[in-house]
Amino acid sequence: MHNKPMDKSKLLAIGDRFRIYILFLVIFIFMSLFAPRFFNSYNLTTILRTVSMNATLALGFSVVMICGHLDLSIGRTATFAAVIALLLQKSVGYGLSVPIAIAAGVLVGLVNGLLVVKVKINSFIVTIGTMTILQGATYTMTGGNSVSLSGSNVFAISDFLSRPLLPMLPPRVILTILFVLLFHFFVTHTQWGRNFYLLGGNKMTAWLAGIHTDAVTVSAFILSSTMAAVGGILFAMESSAATLNMGENSLMYVVSATIIGGTAMSGGKGGVLKSVIAILSLEMLYTGTILFGLGNEVKIFISGLILAFVVLYEAYASYKHERTLGQRSELLKEVAMLKARVPK
Amino acid sequence: MNRTIDTDTRALRTNRFSAIMNSVGVYAIALLFLLLGMLLQGVGVINNFMTTQNLMNIVDAVALLGIVAAGMAFITYSGHYADMSVPTTIALTGIVSVELLRFGFFFAMAGAILCGILIGLINGIVVGKFKANPIIWTLAMNYVSLGIIRFVWVNKQIYPDVITDNVRAVMLFDNIYRFRLFNVLSLPLILMLILVAAGQFILKRTPYGAQLKLTGSARRTARFTGINVEMIVASAYVISAFTTTVAGLAITSLSRVGAWYNGAGYDFRAVTAIVIGGMTLAGGRGSIVGVLGGTLVIGLMNNIMTLLGIGTFSQDIIRGAIFILVVGINAKTLRSQGRDDA
């Protein structure tokens, strides 16, 4: 008699755990069946290429969120690093400009992390500040214009990055997949990676367990900014150009995708792979809306709504959880059953 | 036993110096900036600082920012950091008012204020009742309103005089920003002074202000004392949305166009003004008068930087650095005084 409801709740729990994979399949099948010109190798390659920047950003962002923090500066960091890489390319070439740009990303993360753990300012307040600084720096460096490069060697690199090496997989996508696998392995199979979960779940426990919580937090912020920089640089190298708002919308996409993917804002839950799958699902949805003939405005509208819905859902779930905290549902059910049996 | 009492009194003792610093200190900083401006003009680095026109420009800019900050301070005071949906609330209410101008001036005002309060109400319910992360939620709300604007008004900029032939309504709308009492006091300035006075009174002299303070400093405790915490937080968001709408109307009247980019930058500038004004992001501390001082500092700083020829973009760097610095110093002092365990 008890088994049936137990099974149902178990099934629900499993469904909730794998919800992002289910969502992914549903969107993929729906779009393949109904959206015109969706299921062909050209479109799918385009989707993979489009997501690779946001997917790279989502890797680091998820790690910060698993730690129970937020990094709102990722979008601007991506633009900042991309602009540095392109501007310096003119004088020193990619060989030196890319490492410098990545170093800039590392520096941003270090500053964010130190401000969070040493000065103990809330992470989103810190990153709102650095976001503004980075925006100012980017605009000052470029004078408010977008940056573009030309020249045969530059175009050779962007051609190399975007031309499929394997079927449907240009080097940039392959790189992104490598990053994803690396991060997934790092977060799930190494001690340092698993420390992120422990830290996000309960900071005090983590500290008592002998984890250097400050170092772990700072490393999370460094990973986040570095991946943001790498994502921005690769995007800029592929198109040989950087616009000043290229990273701006990424924040919205990445935040929604990470939460849809099941990484809780309270920390300690989720995974990088799930965030990437969520990014992929969202991009398929957006591509679908464009293929159905709806404009870019609709895309902005939908993505805003999705973010709002996701944040609301997450908040509502934790609100419900908090209300029923400590209640034992099976006992309540038994009481209800007993009450029903008692004749009036 | 003695020791615990010691720490307790240390936590409760009001440090007179810091209290004075908190309320007056920011005005001293503003005065310093004013002196700096005069000094720079005396040396000859900048000119046109001490002209009537320039000082009036500063006051007008301060008025707009002050209106936003006076409302947003309620959110900060309630312990919810900031309202990131300010930019598109300004834009959306501006557009709505211009769009409704065809039905008459007062209808347009009422419609815009209703729209703004609706946004505030949604924010308040989601953050207050469901405890969504205030920054992320209001950011999401910002994108949603932006989406609505882009969806309904597809990149169009709408002009009051194109929307309607009603000359009187257009003139009234233009005068929201341009009306000057005795040719000096602009309407936004008057509105700001009224809002600041009202805000200060509400925060410091009413039961509601006390409830807000307790909610901001210790939400659970506030709940257990029987305060309807959800209502209090929601009301803070509605107040913020209301003043934002007022600012939105003034800004739209200033630019004579309703467009999606109208409020850009006001969110961050308002938070900076609030923290410079001595309101801590942890909630429950500070005053609206202090926030007005913070706004003055921001206004003077922006003006001097512009006169010095520092570009708008580079000003962002300085503003961001000052923001982090002030928040950091604030957090550090409170901790060292034993008044904050954050």
Q: Indicate if the pLDDT at residue B163 is higher than 80.
A: no
A305/B144 CB distance under 8 A: yes
Arithmetic mean of pLDDT, B185-214: 91
Six-digit token pair at B145?
Answer: 């309103």
A144/B313 CB distance under 8 A: yes
A136/B332 CB distance under 8 A: no
Q: Report the domain count for chain A.
A: 1
- A33: domain CATH number? 1.10.3470
| Mutate: best of B150, B266, B318, partner A, most A CBs <10 A | B150
Interface residue ranges in chain A relative to chain B, Cβ cutoff 8 Å: 70, 72, 115, 119-122, 124-126, 128-133, 135-140, 144, 252, 255, 265, 295, 297-298, 300-305, 307-308, 311-312, 314-316, 318-319, 322
B151/A137 CB distance under 8 A: no
List the single residue in B145, B312, B320 with the smallest CB-CB distance to A132.
Answer: B320
A129/B311 CB distance under 8 A: no
B311/A302 CB distance under 8 A: no
| Mutate: best of A70, A119, A321, A322, partner B, most B CBs <10 A | A119
Q: Which domain holds residue A112?
A: 18-341
pLDDT in tens, B238-282: 999 999 999 999 999 988 888 888 888 888 889 989 988 888 888
Are A180 and A55 contacting, i.e. CB atoms less than 8 angstroms apart? yes
Confidence of residue B322 (pLDDT cuts 50, 70, 90): confident
Q: Indicate if the pLDDT at residue B7 is higher than 50.
A: no
Q: Indicate if the pLDDT at residue B51 is higher than 50.
A: yes
Nearest CA in chain B to A111: B324
What per-residue confidence (pLDDT) applies to B96? 92
Which residues in chain A show pLDDT less than 70? 1-9, 343-344
SS3 B164: coil
Least-confidence region, from A252-256, B194-198, B297-301: A252-256
B129/A144 CB distance under 8 A: no
What per-residue confidence (pLDDT) applies to B3? 46
B147/A305 CB distance under 8 A: yes
A119/B331 CB distance under 8 A: yes
Q: Indicate if the pLDDT at residue B148 is higher than 80.
A: yes
List the single residue in B140, B154, B316 with the smallest CB-CB distance to A136.
Answer: B316
Arithmetic mean of pLDDT, B217-227: 88
Least-confidence region, from A26-35, B3-12, B132-141, B166-175: B3-12
Are A134 and A77 contacting, i.e. CB atoms less than 8 angstroms apart? yes
Average pLDDT, chain B: 84
Confidence of residue B139 (pLDDT cuts 50, 70, 90): confident
pLDDT in tens, A149-190: 877 777 777 777 777 777 778 888 899 999 999 999 999 999
Segment B232-235 long-range contacts (CB within 8 Å, at least 24 positions apart): B232/B78, B232/B128, B232/B208, B233/B78, B233/B80, B233/B124, B233/B127, B233/B128, B234/B121, B234/B124, B234/B125, B234/B127, B234/B128, B234/B129, B235/B124, B235/B208
What per-residue confidence (pLDDT) applies to A344? 59
Is A8 domain-assigned?
no
A130/B281 CB distance under 8 A: no
Task: Chain A: give the shortest CA distance to residue B193, in Å.
Answer: 28
Under DSSP, the state recorded for B263 is T
Closest C-alpha among B283, B318, B324 to residue B304: B318
Residues 6+ apart with CB under 8 A from B317: A132, A133, A136, A137, A140
Size of interface A-B (CB pairs under 8 A): 140
Nearest CA in chain B to A259: B136
Q: Indicate if the pLDDT at residue B182 is higher than 80.
A: no
Enumerate the domain spans of chain B.
67-289
A131/B321 CB distance under 8 A: no
Whole-complex ipTM? 0.81
